[in-house]
Amino acid sequence: MNKDIRVLVIGMSGILAGVEREVLGIIAHCPENIHFDFLCFGNRFKYEEILQGNSIFYYIPKRKKNIIKSNMRQRSFWREHGQEYDVIWINTASASNITMYKYAKKYSNARIISHSHNSKIEYSDPVLKAGHSILHLFNRNRLVACSDVLVSCSKSAAIHLYGVINDDVHILYNGIDLKRFQFDSATRKAIREDLCISEDELVLCCVGRVEKVKNFIHSIKVLERLQNKQIKSTLLIVGDGSQSDVLKQYVKQNRINKVLFLGSQSDVKPYLDCADVFLQPSFFEGFPVSTIEAQTNGIKCIISNNITPEVKMTDLVVMLPVDEQYIDDWCTECSNCASAISRGDYTRIMYEQGLDLGTVSKKMQDFFYGNYR
């Protein structure tokens, strides 16, 4: 039997999005002898209650609020608690700030696991993006040197954070609870009734943080073009973020009908049941969990060709450019998808690809215990 270990999780945001759902899912499949605490930056996380009080959440001010105060609080935390942990699990998408790596290395004897979750740096401000990109390239080798285990959700995310793909880098695709995402026609009917959507209506669905990188404005333009072609259609946007009000204003100004902003949902599966087409027009992604969920559900997926092709696990996925001139191509793919009350069972394919969350969690546990090559 494996010994009791304590893991400190770093890199979660306050929004229950892809990375957060993946990390919490891995934790849920771990045995009780692995204890998890969280080092968080910013305000109190809304999903603390999911862990039912078994974990300690430590909060530190974000660097952009007060960099001196943030660094002082970090140093104080590591001096006081660094020796309490066997594993430091750092989930990140950039090497622009490696303070947490340096402190973890200095003040603890823990195994440091670096887990890459994205393929590019996410900043809309060009000046900030340029500055962070320079720091990212400068610090990349230092991050690798501070880490004992290098994990990545995809090959593109590995190259982005570590600069290389070799035997020292472990590719661990994001997983989901496959059985839970199987299509259910009764749920489809119930959600459509709740949202006042007829069965003959073409329903498009986007899931994720409502941020510029997700490019949900593209999906709204696809809907608008479909409606201009007299195709009865609705768009569901499941998620929340800084761009929510911007998109709502765009919809209002352009008098676009049937865009439903559903906010952040703890369970997105009913909305996949409800929909006919899953859209993901992101400018970039690491290995999007939402696309795996949609494929498992048996729904057609039209996604950006900027996303890693590793996520294309089935014949349900079509990859297209997100430039304005290709909107008609997106519309054609959407309109070719007839509204259906039954779908194929894709769970077996996803199991064979190792995408069940239990399988992914077991591999992560091997990293926690040091049982890896």
Cβ neighbourhood burial of 351 (10 Å; 0-12, 13-18, 19+): middle
Query: Which residues constitute the domain of residue 44?
Result: 5-175+356-369
> Are 130 and 236 contained in the same domain?
no
> Are 30 and 97 contained in the same domain?
yes
Q: Of 12, 8, 22, 11, which Cα lies nearest the Cα of 287? A: 22
Q: For residues 110 and 101, what is the distance between their CA atoms, to the nearest angstrom?
A: 11
> Are 40 and 183 contained in the same domain?
no
The domain total for the chain is 2
Do 111 and 370 meet the contact criterion of CB atoms below 8 Å apart?
A: yes
> Are 360 and 287 contained in the same domain?
no
Provide the 10 A C-beta neighbour count for residue 31.
10
CA torsion through residues 141, 142, 147, 151, sign: negative
pLDDT digit string (tens) for the chain, length 373 residues? 578 999 999 998 877 778 888 999 999 999 999 999 999 988 777 677 777 678 899 999 887 777 888 889 999 999 999 999 999 999 998 999 999 999 999 999 999 999 999 888 776 677 877 888 899 999 999 999 999 999 999 999 999 999 988 989 999 999 999 999 999 999 999 999 999 999 999 999 999 999 999 999 999 999 999 999 999 999 999 999 999 999 999 999 999 999 999 998 989 999 999 999 999 999 989 899 999 999 999 999 999 999 999 999 999 999 999 999 999 999 999 988 765 556 888 999 999 999 999 999 999 999 999 887 5
Do 234 and 197 meet the contact criterion of CB atoms below 8 Å apart?
A: yes
Q: Indicate which CATH number applies to the domain containing 273.
A: 3.40.50.2000
> Are 81 and 198 contained in the same domain?
no
> Are 199 and 239 contained in the same domain?
yes
Q: For residues 65 and 4, what is the distance between their CA atoms, to the nearest angstrom?
A: 37
CA torsion through residues 63, 139, 160, 172, sign: negative
DSSP 12-45: --SS--HHHHHHHHHHHTS-TTEEEEEEEESSPP
List, in sequence order, every residue forming a beta bridge with 277; answer none if it has no partner: 204, 300
Q: For residues 277 and 333, what is the distance between their CA atoms, to the nearest angstrom?
A: 9
> Are 190 and 289 contained in the same domain?
yes
Do 39 and 25 meet the contact criterion of CB atoms below 8 Å apart?
A: no
> Are 343 and 364 contained in the same domain?
no
DSSP 195-262: TT--TTSEEEEEES--SGGG-HHHHHHHHHHHHHTT--EEEEEEB--TTHHHHHHHHHHTT---EEEE
Q: For residues 266 and 194, what is the distance between their CA atoms, to the nearest angstrom?
A: 18
> Are 213 and 167 contained in the same domain?
no
What tens digit of pLDDT does each residue of 168-206 get? 999 999 999 999 999 999 999 999 999 999 999 999 999
